Amino acid sequence: LSFPWQKREISNFDYLMYLNTLAGRSYNDYMQYPVFPWVLADYHSETLNLTNPHTFRDLSKPMGAQTVERKRKFIQRFNEVEKNLSAQCHYCTHYSSAIIVASYLVRMEPFTQTFCSLQGGSFDVADRMFHSVKSTWESASRDNMSDVRELTPEFFYLPEFLTNANHFEFGCMQDGTVLGDVQLPPWADGDPHKFIQLHRQALESDYVSAHLHHWIDLIFGHKQHGSAAVEAVNTYHPYFYGDKMDLNNIKDPLIKSTILGFISNFGQIPKQV
């Protein structure tokens, strides 16, 4: 399957879309929307240096293990099995879910309406809305223990989702900033088209091409579950592994509806490729 990709006959973007499709992910299902990786770690420089390895995210580690301290905390959680958890895992939240997809794309319909319906009919508090690429990266890679979000394909081809062209009133953040367009890294010069162009270049760069297989192993491959996943600090709540749970054999309707609700709200691990 990977031979044309290894020979660089198809782009990294196309290969990731191919894998997502094989794994049952689809644009038609927000609960199993195509998942793409964060590829950069530099959202503060004036110019983007795609020849410097430090510019990039560590693709061999899940988002929960991007810093030493964060990784240590999640391993501690796994070992302790907190009293309120029903199963041993590193993460109780997921890297892709309907609300994550809708929050990223909230500035465009039909995602605006989807987001509002998932939120109970209105937008979220402004500070919790997707408003800055840099702050979202910092939250998902370092600061927030309940945030291990990856990205959607749109981050690599669709500048429109970064602008509030429909003039939705998202409210004001605590510092008084009116929430409108998404704040971009300095290297994008405030231009969504430039952001997408450079972000796509990063995805297709030599560094990402040489390391992308590690991320694929985590999301679609052998490090997705089992002992390899434990070793990679890459285990999620059992309910996220929808295809590994035989729902037909669960007789208790309450447990069954709880699991289905959990998957629909919090995400689902892709089918193993």
For the segment 194-203, what is each residue's pLDDT rounded down to a tens digit?
Answer: 999 999 999 9
Query: Please, are residues 182 and 133 in contact by the beta-carbon 8 Å criterion?
Result: yes
User: Model confidence at 7, in pLDDT bands (50, 70, 90)?
Assistant: confident
Q: Is the pLDDT of residue 247 over 70?
A: no
What is the reported pTM? 0.91
For the segment 57-103, what is each residue's pLDDT rounded down to a tens digit?
Answer: 999 999 999 999 999 999 999 998 755 556 789 998 999 999 999 99
Residue 30: per-residue pLDDT:
92
Residue 201: per-residue pLDDT:
98
For the segment 104-143, what is each residue's pLDDT rounded down to a tens digit?
Answer: 999 999 999 999 998 888 898 888 999 999 999 999 999 9
Residue 2: per-residue pLDDT:
56
Q: Is the pLDDT of residue 264 over 70?
A: no
| Cα–Cα distance measured from residue 238 to residue 242, given in angstroms and rounded to the nearest whole number | 8
Q: Write the secondary structure of the chain as one string of H (helix), E (strand) and C (coil).
A: CCHHHHCCCCCHHHHHHHHHHHCCCCCCCHHHCCCECCCECCCCCCCCCCCCHHHECCCCCCHHHCCHHHHHHHHHHHHHCCCCCCCCCCECCCCCCHHHHHHHCCCCCCHHHHHHHHCCCCCCCHHHCCCEHHHHHHHHHHHCCCCCCCECHHHHCCHHHHCCCCCCCCCECCCCCECCCCECCHHHCCCHHHHHHHHHHHHCCHHHHHHHHHHHHHHCCCCCCCHHHHHCCCCECHHHCHHHCCHHHCCCHHHHHHHHHHHHHHCCCCCCC
Q: Is the pLDDT of residue 178 over 80?
A: yes
Hey, what domains does the chain have and what are their CATH numbers? 2-266 (1.10.1540.10)
Share of the chain above pLDDT 90, in %: 74
In this structure, the number of other CB atoms found within 10 A of the CB of residue 200 comes to 17
